[in-house]
């Protein structure tokens, strides 16, 4: 990644709290006998800290002695209800957090109010720290404020990026010697931001993912995505389920490898492997535990980021439904979104067959399942998998991501739209998530 630490402004960058500020300002003014100010005028005074805000809204007169107390009393009451996350912020922070990016807020707002707001909005789960001027002992554009936030995040200057919406943020980053990105979501016009000479100019907060990962100039994320399909074996978990049941059987492992590499038709080997194995209910229950034990470590964070971005997630697997459902539950994927092959058992728990009508027992089955899901859903689709049977679903989706983090299949590597070799699922996120 290009940057591993983000120092984030709050107002106008992550949240819109201008209404709350206007309410508190006018509460103080009216209580002290001054007329209310237009909220847009107050918005133009924001960004340089509470002391400066009060000086501006009471100018040319001195700030009355009780003005701050009145402001803080009212702001404390309304700051949560009158604040909202800006477009794309939640899903982008979730993605960056899943990618392991350190993040700290550096705001000229008092720390207590800032913490209260980010906790109310659920943003705090993605942050390593919130640093206001009262904690730092200085306020932006003073470099000490940025340095305090950087230290709290555990980052270093050379891999850090300051993200803000105002010129004070650009100056703060420059004074601290770190790169800066400005996002045109606050009170500062885009023409002013363009002249600021910040390293990156973002029209949307969601564009930050490409900047951080260094993918913004390559094939970028795909807008309009709604449906995400995952294979299970060697994708969500680091095993091939049927090989686990086989307990090291060379014959069954060879059949699995041949099918996954496209050397033999899946339909030719599916029933044969099961007849050789005849797995009991107890063996399948044990397999479900193996799926959980070998789950790709960052799979939960990946699912959280995808859901935060409004994606619907499915599992499409030629594996066994009873064994995969606990893994799906762990990842927050409902049973209705799990497509796998159901095994049959007798009353004693002995193997009695499988659902031979399932398209997932033969080649082309995953494409069929994806097309059936898409027939009743809207939005673009992505499939992530490791094998040839996954690659067969490529015509049914806008983007096929080959996952080579567990097993590398040469044909999949050659034909996937994107091929990933690292053993982590968060690597898919920059290719998928963007503000729709």
| From 233, 243, 386, 390, the catalytic residue | 233
Task: Write down the pLDDT at residue 216.
Answer: 56
Q: What's 18-78's CATH class?
A: mainly alpha
Q: What local confidence, expressed as pLDDT, does residue 215 receive?
A: 64
The confidence score (pLDDT) of residue 213 equals: 82
Please state which of the four CATH numbers 3.40.50.20, 3.40.980.10, 3.20.20.150, 3.40.50.1000 is assigned to the domain occupying 225-431: 3.40.50.1000
Among 273, 426, 424, 435, CA closest to 361? 273
Low-confidence ranges of the chain (pLDDT < 50): 217-219, 435-436
The confidence score (pLDDT) of residue 217 equals 44
State residue 223's pLDDT score.
Answer: 63
CATH topology agreement for domains 5-14+84-213 and 225-431: yes
Contact criterion met (CB below 8 Å) for 202 and 183: yes
Q: What percent of the chain is predicted at pLDDT more than 70?
A: 97
Q: How much is the pLDDT for 99?
A: 85
What's the CA gap between 170 and 162, in Å, rounded?
8
pLDDT on residue 22: 93
**First-to-final CA distance of the chain:** 23
Could you confirm whether domain 5-14+84-213 is CATH 3.40.50.720? Answer: no
Q: What is the pLDDT of residues 248-285, one digit of tens each?
A: 787 887 887 887 777 888 888 888 889 889 999 999 99
272 in Cβ contact with 256 (< 8 Å): no
Read off φ and ψ for residue 130, nearest 5 degrees.
-125, 120
Query: Is 276 strand, coil or helix?
Result: helix
Q: Please give the pLDDT value at position 85.
A: 94
Is residue 257 within 8 Å of residue 265, measured between CB atoms? no
Residue 436, pLDDT score: 38
CB-hemisphere CA count at 13 Å for 155?
A: 29
How many other C-beta atoms are found inside a 10 Å radius of the C-beta of residue 99? 21
* CA-angle at 246, arms to 330 and 351, nearest 5°: 80
At 222 the pLDDT is 64
| Per-domain residue ranges of the chain | 5-14+84-213, 18-78, 225-431
Q: Which of 428, 316, 306 is nearest to 379 (CA)?
A: 306
Q: What is the pLDDT of residue 263?
A: 82
Residue 254: its pLDDT value, please?
Answer: 85
Active-site residue flag, 231: yes
Q: Which of 11, 231, 386, 390 is catalytic?
A: 231
Q: How far is residue 202's CA from residue 222's CA, in Å, rounded to a whole number?
A: 17
pLDDT of 219 reads 47
Q: List the structure tokens of 413.
A: 């590597």
What is the total residue count of the chain? 436
Q: At 434, give phi and psi (nearest 5°).
A: -160, 150
Cα(323)–Cα(343) distance, rounded to whole angstroms?
10
pLDDT at 435: 37
pLDDT value of residue 243: 86
Question: How much is the pLDDT for 15?
Answer: 95
d(CA 237, CA 290): 9
């Amino acid at each position: 990644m290009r940057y591993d630490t983000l120092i984030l402004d709050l107002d106008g960058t992550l949240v819109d709290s201008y209404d709350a500020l206007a309410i508190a300002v006018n509460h103080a003014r009216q209580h002290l006998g001054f007329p209310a100010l237009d909220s847009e005028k107050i918005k133009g005074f924001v960004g340089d800290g509470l002391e400066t805000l009060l000086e501006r809204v009471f100018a040319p007169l001195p700030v009355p002695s009780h003005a701050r107390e009145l402001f803080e009393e009212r702001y404390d009451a309304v700051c949560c209800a009158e604040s909202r996350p800006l477009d794309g912020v939640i899903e982008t922070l979730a993605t960056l957090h899943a990618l392991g990016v350190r993040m700290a807020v550096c705001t000229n707002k008092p720390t207590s109010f800032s913490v209260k707001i980010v906790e109310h909005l659920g943003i705090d789960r993605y942050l390593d720290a919130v640093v206001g001027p009262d904690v730092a002992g200085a306020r932006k554009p003073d470099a000490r404020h940025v340095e305090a936030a950087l230290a709290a995040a555990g980052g270093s200057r050379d891999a850090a990026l300051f993200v803000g919406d105002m010129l004070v943020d650009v100056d703060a980053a420059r004074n601290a010697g770190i790169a800066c990105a400005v996002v045109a979501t606050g009170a500062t016009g885009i023409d002013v931001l363009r002249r600021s000479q910040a390293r990156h100019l973002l029209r949307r907060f969601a564009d930050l993912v490409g900047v951080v990962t260094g993918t913004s100039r390559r094939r970028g994320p795909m807008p309009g995505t709604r449906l995400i399909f995952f294979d299970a074996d060697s994708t969500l978990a680091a095993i091939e389920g049927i090989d686990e049941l086989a307990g090291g059987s060379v014959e069954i492992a060879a059949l699995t490898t041949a099918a996954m590499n496209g050397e033999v038709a899946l339909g030719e080997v599916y029933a044969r492997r099961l007849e050789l194995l005849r797995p009991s209910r107890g063996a399948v229950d044990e397999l479900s535990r193996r799926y959980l034990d070998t789950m790709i470590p960052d799979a939960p964070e990946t699912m959280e980021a995808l859901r935060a971005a409004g994606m619907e997630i499915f599992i499409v697997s030629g594996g066994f439904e009873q064994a995969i459902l606990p893994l799906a539950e762990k990842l927050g994927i409902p049973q209705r979104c799990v497509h796998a092959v159901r095994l049959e058992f007798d009353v004693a728990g002995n193997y009695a067959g499988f659902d031979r009508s399932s398209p997932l027992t033969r080649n082309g089955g995953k494409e069929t399942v994806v097309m059936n899901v898409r027939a009743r859903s809207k939005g673009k689709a992505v499939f992530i998998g490791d094998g040839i049977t996954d690659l067969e679903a490529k015509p049914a989706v806008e983007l096929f991501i080959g996952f080579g983090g567990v097993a590398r299949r040469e044909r999949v590597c050659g034909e996937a739209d994107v091929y990933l070799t690292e053993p982590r699922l968060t690597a898919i996120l920059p290719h998928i998530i963007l503000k729709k």
